[in-house]
Amino acid sequence: MKAEGRRQRAEVRSRCRRVFALLLTSALCLLPSAFISAAPRSPYLTQHASDPVQWQSYGDAAFAEARKNNKPIFLSIGYSTCHWCHEMQRESFADPEIAKLMNDAFVNILVDREERPDIDSVYIAVTRTLTGDAGWPNNVILTPDGKPFFAASYIPKERFRALIPRVQKMWSEQREGIVASANMVMTALKPPPVSTETLGADILEKGYRQLAARYDAENGGFLPAPKFPSPHHLMFLLRYWKRTGDTKALKMVEHTLQTMRARPIYDAQRFGFHRYVTDAAWREPHFEKMLNDQAVLAIAYLEAYQATHKKEYADVAREIFTYVLRDLRAPNGAFYTAHDSEVRTRRDEKILTSWNGLMIASLSLGAVILDEDSYAIAAQSAAEVFVPSRARARARSRARGGGEVASLTTAPGSGSGSGFQFLDDYTFFVWGLLNLYEATFDAKYLERAIALEDKALRLFRDNEGRFFVTSTNELLVRPRETGDGALPSGNSVQLMNLIRLARITARDDYAKSAGALIRSVADEASLAPVASTGLLSALDFVLGPSYEVVLAGKDVTALRRAVFAQFVPNKVVLRAPVALAPYTKEQKPIHGRATAYVCTNYLCKLPVTDAAKVSELLR
């Protein structure tokens, strides 16, 4: 079945090349409303508001116009801080001559990938599948019924000028061939069958070997360039080192973290990491700084600090938090999206639920590892923007005449406030709430995490156990992302959330959902585990050993500090009693002293009251 899938994709690529050899010799062939408001909410769409291109929103109106006028659709997907998006706008989209060619030949649709991650997922995932690479702007040409038949990322002006009339001519004269090719693309978009097998420890070793083969021994990170920090690769390597004792894995992590901090990918003046570099040596960055990158990179540095106790890693995490709290925090406590790659003072002030969830997770972990309460306070302020207080939720539910419903609210200007519901909003935010619970032991965050996770299971899970990107099925295909990109996928984070919640609550349905998810992605992960290192980190937790650490007593600060002083990633930490974790009911302080219960699969060792002994039990 795997071989058949690869053969089919190869056939589609070959057919596409034959059909479009005349269009653009360097083009990439791939799988695959009204005019945009003059004052759109998205900063990216605002940047294009004065283009002479007649941009439309992705939706029924644009597709109806394409069908009525029998025109192909030119779909361009980008984001506000993207260097090559700016470049293509300056060269082509702002040029009246190019714009006239586009308006005559196409119905033109512009999408902000951060507002519509579902649309972005469909077209970027298929680009990767057939070409092995993808980026932004992602420019896709579709038939009037929405089937993709051509795509490229950045297209230089003169090539684009030549491409448009060629597409127009071929659409007029060779439409049957184009439609046949687009139908083959649609066939190749179908998801692979679900495996009856599951994943074991051997896949962790395979993932490590594949990362080691790509490792840049001179500069750290992973080849080829362009290079992204890919912190989830480093987080997996730390877990592999913890499991196997292989010091090469730890050395790869340390060399990468040290080199990145010392090279221009890091902003040594104002702190924070740029998104990526175009060279192998981390010296030629594109200067956008994204909230999501800061969040997960800070986690990687924090975990390296736990593993090595080297202060330099803690210092970098603190610097990242300084940048985010100083330059990306909104007045309401949430966090903005990014700083621009070209005008570095220009800030994208969208507030994305998913990325805020990542930052809440990161700050909460920083609070307990660095023993810094201000980080937990900042995480709490951000969380309250998105998850309504119990009183507000009850008031709304009374107004509706129903029971209390778990939901994620969104801040003004949020890309997630478009009426659509996305997996990443839920999974990343649940990650944040679980970490925030461990940083504060405020049970409301655990309650909210469980309510949101239960809703995510209803909204996004397919029949095989994987999770869709969106809660609706209105696109060409309903996208799933099981492989990781520059950050862990929603399915990878979902697996980690499910296993953590299974351990916290002892709920069998969470454990079963985790098992079904592992089986559903087994074939894809086995083929290229290097593309699923976030998933492998969660699998490492599933395989164990793992711990349930229950703290009891009035002041458990010293015991919690001991728990987080070393790198023990596969654990959950609770403060007894927890109503949602019934097994904690009998775990009480001994002789009035703060007490720690260290358990594996709910079988607990003798309770201890000495912080040093807690550390010994977790080694």
Q: Is the pLDDT of residue 585 over 50?
A: yes
Among 566, 542, 581, CA closest to 617: 566
The residue with greater pLDDT, 127 or 208, is 208
Q: Which amino acid is at 480?
A: R
For the chain, what is the domain count?
A: 2
pLDDT 10s digits, 330-383 = 999 999 999 986 666 789 899 999 999 999 999 999 999 999 999 999 999 999
Q: CA torsion, points 341, 347, 348, 354, in degrees to nearest 10?
A: 90
Both tokens of 237, joined, read: 């390597």
The rounded distance, in Å, linking the Cα atoms of 220 and 252 is 7
How does the average pLDDT of the chain come out, rounded? 87
Q: Which long-range contacts (CB under 8 A, 24 or more apart) does 133-138 make?
A: 135/84, 136/77, 136/78, 136/79, 136/82, 136/84, 136/85, 137/76, 137/77, 137/78, 137/82, 137/84, 137/85, 137/88, 138/76, 138/77, 138/78, 138/113
The rounded distance, in Å, linking the Cα atoms of 116 and 120 is 6
Are 1 and 192 spatial neighbours (Cβ–Cβ below 8 Å)? yes
Are 27 and 163 spatial neighbours (Cβ–Cβ below 8 Å)? yes
Q: How far is CA 269 from the centre of its chain?
A: 27
Query: What percent of the chain has a predicted confidence (pLDDT) above 70?
Result: 85
The answer to whether position 292 is within a domain reads: no
The answer to whether position 522 is within a domain reads: no
The rounded distance, in Å, linking the Cα atoms of 274 and 116 is 23
Q: In what helix (H) or strand (E) does residue 510 lie, and over which residues does it extend?
A: helix 508-520
Work out the number of other CB atoms within 10 angstroms of the CB of residue 382.
23
Using a 10 angstrom Cβ sphere, with 0-12 exposed, 13-18 middle and 19 or more buried, the burial of residue 603 is exposed
Q: Is the pLDDT of residue 577 over 80?
A: yes
CB-side neighbour CA atoms (13 Å) of 103:
14
Using a 10 angstrom Cβ sphere, with 0-12 exposed, 13-18 middle and 19 or more buried, the burial of residue 92 is buried
Residues 6+ apart with CB under 8 A from 487: 231, 232, 292, 293, 296, 358, 534
The rounded distance, in Å, linking the Cα atoms of 87 and 95 is 12
Are 227 and 277 spatial neighbours (Cβ–Cβ below 8 Å)? yes
Both tokens of 20, joined, read: 């479009």
Are 80 and 338 spatial neighbours (Cβ–Cβ below 8 Å)? yes
The answer to whether position 377 is within a domain reads: no
Work out the number of other CB atoms within 10 angstroms of the CB of residue 390.
12
Q: Is the pLDDT of residue 527 over 50?
A: yes
Q: Give the confidence band of 394 by pLDDT, cuts at 50, 70, 90.
A: very low
Give me the pLDDT at residue 35, please: 54
Give me the pLDDT at residue 523, please: 87
Q: In what helix (H) or strand (E) does residue 290 lie, and over which residues does it extend?
A: strand 289-290
Q: Is the dihedral of CA 116, 118, 124, 127 positive or negative?
A: negative
| DSSP classification of residue 578 | B
Prediction pTM value: 0.85
Give me the pLDDT at residue 36, please: 56
Query: Helix crossing, 201-214 with 533-543: angle to 10°?
Result: 150
Which segment of 68-77, 176-185, 264-273, 379-388 scores lowest on mean pLDDT?
Answer: 176-185
347 φ, ψ (degrees, to nearest 5): -115, 135
The residue with greater pLDDT, 88 or 7, is 88
The answer to whether position 558 is within a domain reads: yes
Are 425 and 354 spatial neighbours (Cβ–Cβ below 8 Å)? yes
Report the pLDDT averaged over residues 378-401.
Answer: 63
The answer to whether position 339 is within a domain reads: no
Report the pLDDT averaged over residues 281-301.
Answer: 96
The rounded distance, in Å, linking the Cα atoms of 312 and 611 is 25
Task: Show which of 125, 156, 188 is a domain's final residue.
Answer: 188
The residue with greater pLDDT, 27 or 619, is 619
CATH code, domain carrying 67: 3.40.30.10
Q: Give the confidence band of 17 by pLDDT, cuts at 50, 70, 90.
A: very low
Residue 117: cis peptide before it, omega within 30 degrees of 0: no
Are 73 and 107 spatial neighbours (Cβ–Cβ below 8 Å)? yes
Using a 10 angstrom Cβ sphere, with 0-12 exposed, 13-18 middle and 19 or more buried, the burial of residue 480 is buried
Report the pLDDT averaged over residues 11-31.
Answer: 44
SS3 content of the chain, % helix, strand, coil (to 5): 55, 10, 35
CA distances to 118, 119, 152, 468, 611 from 77, rounded to whole Å, are: 11, 9, 11, 20, 52
CA distances to 78, 116, 472, 479, 505 from 419, rounded to whole Å, are: 20, 10, 11, 17, 31
**Could you tell me where the DSSP H helices lie in 390-507?**
390-400, 423-440, 443-460, 490-505
Per-residue burial over 128-141, b if 16 or more Cβ lie within 10 Å, else e, is bbbbeebbbbbbbb
Give me the pLDDT at residue 596, please: 96
Q: Which amino acid is at 290?
A: M
Structural domain containing residue 77: 2-188
Q: Is the pLDDT of residue 551 over 70?
A: yes
The rounded distance, in Å, linking the Cα atoms of 293 and 273 is 7
Q: Which amino acid is at 24?
A: L
Q: Is the pLDDT of residue 402 over 90?
A: no
Q: Give the confidence band of 400 by pLDDT, cuts at 50, 70, 90.
A: very low
571 φ, ψ (degrees, to nearest 5): -150, 160
The answer to whether position 150 is within a domain reads: yes
| Radius of gyration (C-alpha) of the chain in whole angstroms | 25
Per-residue burial over 190-214, b if 16 or more Cβ lie within 10 Å, else e, is eeeebbeeebeeebbebbbebbbee
Give me the pLDDT at residue 405, please: 32
The rounded distance, in Å, linking the Cα atoms of 15 and 180 is 9
Are 93 and 148 spatial neighbours (Cβ–Cβ below 8 Å)? no
Residue 588's SS3 state is coil
The rounded distance, in Å, linking the Cα atoms of 549 and 569 is 12
Give me the pLDDT at residue 150, please: 85
Q: Which of 13-27, 289-303, 403-417 has the highest mean pLDDT?
A: 289-303
Query: What percent of the chain has a predicted confidence (pLDDT) above 90?
Result: 66
Q: How far is CA 291 from the centre of its chain?
A: 11
Task: Show which of 128, 156, 188 is a domain's final residue.
Answer: 188
The rounded distance, in Å, linking the Cα atoms of 3 and 101 is 42
The answer to whether position 358 is within a domain reads: no
Among 445, 476, 481, CA closest to 460: 481
Task: Show which of 188, 209, 240 is a domain's final residue.
Answer: 188
Q: Give the confidence band of 121 by pLDDT, cuts at 50, 70, 90.
A: confident
Q: Is the pLDDT of residue 416 over 70?
A: no
Q: Is the pLDDT of residue 102 over 70?
A: yes
268 φ, ψ (degrees, to nearest 5): -70, -15
Report the pLDDT averaged over residues 215-238.
Answer: 96
pLDDT 10s digits, 25-57 = 333 333 333 455 444 578 889 999 999 999 999
The answer to whether position 438 is within a domain reads: no
